[in-house]
Structure 1
Amino acid sequence: MPVAQLFFRSVVVALALGFSGAAHACGPDTDCELGNRHYRIALPDGHDGVTSVGAIVFAHGYRGSARGTMRNKNLRQMVSDMGLAFIAVKSARDDWDIPGAPSDLNSDGRVELGYFEKVVADVTRRHHVDPKRIMMSGFSAGGMVTWQLACDRPDLFAGFAPMAGTFWQGPPATCKGTTNVIHIHGTEDRTVPLAGRRIGSTKQGDVNKVLAFYRKEGGFGPIKTTAVSDDLTCARQTDAATDVLEFCTFKGGHSFKRSYLKYAWDRLAAAGKL
């Protein structure tokens, strides 16, 4: 084969491989594709791509995106400094497809539950994330899907940290089990008030009623109120299996500090859950 032709073929092969790699590239700035769904992931700085690593999965609020979540560089850096992967997930539509949501009152939530199962399977396979050291969290609507997962897929994550969001229409009849939950909420939240509010033909759940339901469901013990750092005041409980149920409030509205996410992880780690 002439040298020129051989060189041309080599270039074509190299370009094809390059484009193929780009199509499958996956990280903080590129979607990790799962069929017609995706997520994004940022591994901790200096990660060797081989060592097993814990992770925080974060669900965005209404009309959010994985891309938008990853743009929060301060949050990403904090999680990296903790030595963890940061995983940003994306709802099927503008809102998370969960029971009682205004976008689909007839939803049974199976679409999103299946998606999160695929995300966990994919990150453990492709990115060396330790399946026993993943905490699920989310803000607002993301907090609602976090609660749904805690109830319907309690074994999928080591712990759950919903923020400013809970079930639509109040607690379900029962859960498939109970696990570690640290709920964080501003006492002056008007978007998702602690008592909930009506939106169209549906209503946000009452956080205190949800916690009372979960407390009974899991047989959690007496409440121990403890003031902690970052303006959080937390009512702590454990059950016979030492699972953690904690309700943390702060004086503020529909917001959260990134340090609250770190608090939840550290609390669960201290309890031997991560």
Structure 2
Amino acid sequence: MRILLTCLLLLSSPALACGPDTDCPVGDRHYRIVMPADHDGITPVPALIWSHGYRGSAAGVMRNGSLRRMLSDAGFALIAMNGLNGSWNLPNGPRTMNSDGSAEFAYFDAVITDATARHHVDPDRIVAAGFSAGGMMVWNLACSHPESFAGFIPLSGTYWLHPPETCKTPVSSIVHIHGTQDKTVPLKGRPIGETKQGEVEEALSMYEKFGNFGPSNSFKTGPLTCRSRSNPTGEVLEYCLFEGGHSFRTEYLGHGLATLKEAGQL
């Protein structure tokens, strides 16, 4: 009887019941997750780990019906990360000048471990994406944790101050998307307090050299004007601009996923 009671308590615990409307605890942090609408409850699926913008939250991400529908239609689980007090603890930030980002990286590691163990997420097909401050988080993950993700899609965000001198291997595929008239995170950056937002071209140039990416191929697709480079091992480094400001549309993210799939990363 005691064993049966313990099993029932475990099955009814918040940790096991977590999802789009309930927090999934990992240590002193949490995340939220929603599986594709037609998921059979057994088959491992690819997942997109989404990092929200400044003052955002995992709960807020789950209220984005357009994002959820697009990823569900593509067969992806959506994992919504939750920054501390709506922000991310990143190197060279206005309030995190002395940070090395290790606390955030440990949080992402814990979420990936938890999600793959309990929610039928395929560990080999996880994409990191995020908007604004979340895009900054994604660039840092691309440099520090390339082995944990199939690819990266930072939107309207880059490193604080400047990119690192080099990154960890293996080289990854990155699709960066940004508005030409963005005044919140301008392409050339802007001073904030004792630091500044970095320049997008500097981040791309650093990664181009790091990953031995070749000549660029320019093309236009829908509202995006892009230039794409590949390297000898098949990764892609793509930079897409749209006419507009600091905004996010699910079709931009859809383009990033399509690029990663075409490159064989998913």
TM-score range (shorter-chain normalised) is over 0.9
Task: After TM superposition, give the deviation of residue 35 of structure 1 in Å.
Answer: 1.1
* Matching residue of 1:120: 112
Which position in structure 1 is the counterpart of 2:213?
220
Equivalent residue, structure 1, for 2:12: 21
User: How far is the alpha carbon of 1:37 from its aligned partner?
Assistant: 0.5
Displacement of 1:102 after TM fit? Answer: 1.1
Q: RMSD in angstroms over aligned alpha carbons? A: 1.8
Counterpart code for 1:83: G
Tell me the equivalent position of 2:195: 202
Q: More deviation in 92-101 or 49-58? A: 92-101
Give the unaligned 5+ runs of structure 2. none
Q: Which residue of 2 aligns with 1:254?
A: 246
**C-alpha deviations, 1:44-64, integer Å up to 9, x for none?**
012121111011111001111
Alignment partners' CA distance in 1, 2:124 and 2:11: 32
C-alpha distance in structure 2 between counterparts of 1:95 and 1:125, whole Å? 27
| 1:86 Cα deviation from its structure 2 partner | 0.7
Is the CA contact 2:126–2:149 (under 8 Å) kept in the aligned structure 1? yes
Alignment-derived partner of residue 93 in structure 1:
85
Code of the residue aligned with 1:147 in structure 2: it is W
Offset at residue 245 of structure 1 (A): 0.1
Q: Which residue of 1 aligns with 2:142?
A: 150
Q: Which residue of 2 aligns with 1:193?
A: 186
Q: What TM-score comes out, normalization by structure 2 length?
A: 0.95
Q: Secondary structure at the match of 1:208?
A: helix
Structure 2 equivalent of residue 4 of structure 1: none
Alignment match, 1:5: none
Q: Post-superposition shift, 1:92?
A: 2.8
CA contact (8 A) 2:14 2:24 kept: no
Give the deviation of 1:23 after TM superposition.
2.1
Q: How far apart are the structure 2 equivalents of 1:87 and 1:239?
A: 29
Give the greater-gyration-radius structure (CA). Answer: 1
Q: Say whether the 8 Å CA contact 1:55–1:129 is kept in structure 2.
A: yes
Does residue 43 of structure 1 match 2:35?
yes
TM-score, length of structure 1 as denominator length: 0.92
Q: Distance in 1 between matches of 2:9 and 2:168?
A: 46
- The alpha carbon displacement at 1:103 in A equals 2.0
- Secondary structure of the equivalent of 1:134? strand
* Structure 1 residue 22, shift from structure 2 partner: 4.2
**One-letter amino acid matched to 1:107:** S
Number of aligned residues: 263
Q: Is the partner of 1:155 in helix, strand or coil? A: helix
Which residue number in structure 2 is paired with residue 3 of structure 1?
none
Are the equivalent residues in 2 in contact too, given 1:92–1:112 (CA < 8 A)? no
Give yes or no for the alignment of 1:244 onto 2:254: no
Same amino acid, percent of matched pairs: 51
CA distances 1:62-107 after superposition (whole Å, capped 9, x unpaired): 1110000101011101111111101100113331011011121110
Structure 1 residue runs of 4 or more that deviate by more than 6 Å after TM superposition: none
Say whether the 8 Å CA contact 1:95–1:103 is kept in structure 2: no
Name structure 1 gaps, 5 residues minimum.
Answer: 1-8
